[in-house]
Amino acid sequence: MLDIEQYIRDVQDFPKPGVVFKDITPLLANPEAMKVCVEELLRLTEMQPIDKVVGIESRGFFFATLLAQELNAGFVPIRKPGKLPYTTFKQPYTLEYGMDSLEIHEDAIQKGDKVLLHDDVLATGGTAQAACRLIEQLGGEIVQCNFLIELSFLKGISKLRDYEIRSLLTY
């Protein structure tokens, strides 16, 4: 089987000095690598029933939409403030230096919907934690949070202790 890790490029000092950015664009550029990646992310779900796949802006959208299609589920975007056109709920969260927030349409998830949350990278966990709060505020039940990459040294999983967490690659 194809090793998707060979399609993850390290970019030194991006977006700031001292950071090694995990660039997934080589993976996205290769159709076979993308296919294998989707298959492996699906395998992580153990094919549990899923009503909605929620993707976090922006790189989470790449695979979340493909997962939704394969799971015969709806896709729901969670975005930065001011990017969604309809009435939203907002959830602030803490960054390393400051605050940010995420938004979701108020009608995107129905009470009792089984939800798969997907993002490309689990780093410090603040973004995923805020997304989980939004999903639960709407009455969704988070079946799993899955990620292409987990940066375990940043201990983001500690903010998601109440959820089943799965990642394809761990660094």
- Catalytic: 96? yes
Residue of 90, 115, 92 lying closest to 103 (CA atoms) = 90
Rounded CA-CA distance 148/155 in Å is: 16
Rounded CA-CA distance 109/54 in Å is: 9
Strand pairing category for 88-95 and 98-105: antiparallel
- Catalytic: 59? yes
β-sheet bridge partners, residue 119? 147
Catalytic residue among 59, 70, 133, 136: 59
Catalytic residues: 59, 96
